[in-house]
Structure 1
């Protein structure tokens, strides 16, 4: 599933269910593009029983030069595509096209979103970062503990020194919730 604006400098938030070998756990790959910039990927093993455990946080860090996807209207997209050259265990597991026709569906899908007007203003106002507001929806300490447990499950761009030997992005050093 993808939330995306249009154009070369687009904002985009992806949730992708990656393939697997039969019997292996499914992986959710998440990615955030801001102003056309990518490389903010995380992967999680999913057990489909979330129990109020957060799966992804991208803090608003514009003060340190990290773009935040809040200045463009976005739409929700959903598709099925073959990414077996990288997505399934680094490309080791290939898609078996003899098992096609592949389908995906969403049931009882709800989205809580800001509405953009024709003059490019949002109904959310200026403070949309729920984790830094004084009225957080969950105890922050418990939230951080649960998120750290989830992040140990697969891949996090903020701990991928092999892929980014030149250094991690600024928000990786800033927040406990990357």
Structure 2
């Protein structure tokens, strides 16, 4: 009897060990899926700019601070105000990037945005390309939202949301935008997560006018976290984001040259030209693999699948 009991216990131990091993193997596989494929480091192609020289403080008083000889900045949100910087130049097209470290802890209702806009020039008919990092009621669970619209098409939101595959609060991560006459690409740590190609179905809502670059932090309690369910709790303020490695490369807007022809290349394309170079007019096979990974593994919302919001989906959602 004792022998049978011992044998049964031994068998149960083997089964339990096998189960734990399988579970461990399964978890390891899940973690492996959260690692993106390698991709070309476009952010290594351009110099980092200075907050002192290339940006102006838009709002925030002492909640916006520059340090590291102009290479870095901090923007904070408290009960009094948020904060933000804007580029001194507008651009006809280009490559735009920022390394950002987000506030830790309870951040519901907080939005850190890195985006392009021309609302200062075209207040009722403006264009915009957005990275919006949405705070969360759980530590580290920031959500990344991308959006774009052109010619004042703000009523037709084109939002997509993604889980981040890293903790965005412990170190800097790169958020980059390619914008030219061919496509718009959103990249995180050089991994493309979204591409919007300029086609006949997207041309009416495609950003086409010169835009400036902005980095801000602000209170978006009415909508940011689960539709406004969790507002900003200022008990945890100030909420501080750090910015660095700012890059803006492309055609600087000249009011005397509305066509932008002063930036065009007449000879063979350069790999560093944000409009004409091979790295910028079309995604490589390697970049397309990253794009497919991000959209299959990390995307949690797309306006093209939101039939509750849209009785008729925007035309680009149904065009193959």
Q: Would you say same fold, with TM above 0.5?
A: yes
Aligned equivalents of 1:76, 1:89: Cα separation in 2 = 27
Partner of 1:73: 210
TM-score, with length taken from structure 2: 0.46
Distance in 1, Cα, partners of 2:204 & 2:236: 42
What SS does structure 2 have at the residue aligned with 1:57? Answer: strand
1:108 alignment partner, SS class: strand
| Contact residue 35 and residue 67 of structure 1 kept, 8 A | yes
* 2:292 alignment partner in structure 1: 145
SS of match in other structure, 2:192? coil
The reply to whether residue 83 of structure 1 matches residue 228 of structure 2 is no
Q: Which has the higher strand share?
A: 2
| Pairwise CA distance, 1:114 | 2.9
1:156–1:81 distance in 2 versus 1, CA, 3 Å: same
Partner residue in 1 for 2:180: none
In structure 1, stretches of 5+ residues that fail to align are: none
1:43/1:129 CA distance change after superposition, 3 Å: farther
> Counterpart in 2 of 1:19?
135
Structure 1 residue aligned with 2:126, among 10, 19, 26?
10
CA–CA separation in structure 1 for the residues paired with 2:277 and 2:195: 10
Instruction: Confirm or deny that 1:62 pairs with 2:206.
Output: no
Identify the residue that residue 151 of structure 2 maps to in structure 1: 35
Is there any run of 5+ residues in structure 2 with no aligned partner, and where?
1-113, 167-172, 174-187, 266-273
**TM-score of the superposed pair, with normalisation by structure 1:** 0.79
How big is each residue's C-alpha offset from its partner over 1:118-148, in whole Å with a ceiling of 9 and x where there is no partner?
Answer: 22233367x95989x8x73411752552243
Offset of 1:171 from its aligned partner? 1.2
Cα contact 2:201–2:315 (8 A) shared by 1: no
TM superposition shift of 1:52: 4.5
- The offset of 1:33, in angstroms, is 1.7
Matches within 5 A, 1:44-63: 44-48=162-166, 50=188, 52-62=190-200
Report the structure, 1 or 2, having the larger helix content.
2
d(CA) in 2 for partners of 1:29, 1:124: 32
| CA 148–130 in structure 1, closer or farther in 2 if over 3 Å, else same | farther
State the SS of the aligned residue for 1:62: coil
Structure with bigger gyration radius: 2
Aligned residues: 169
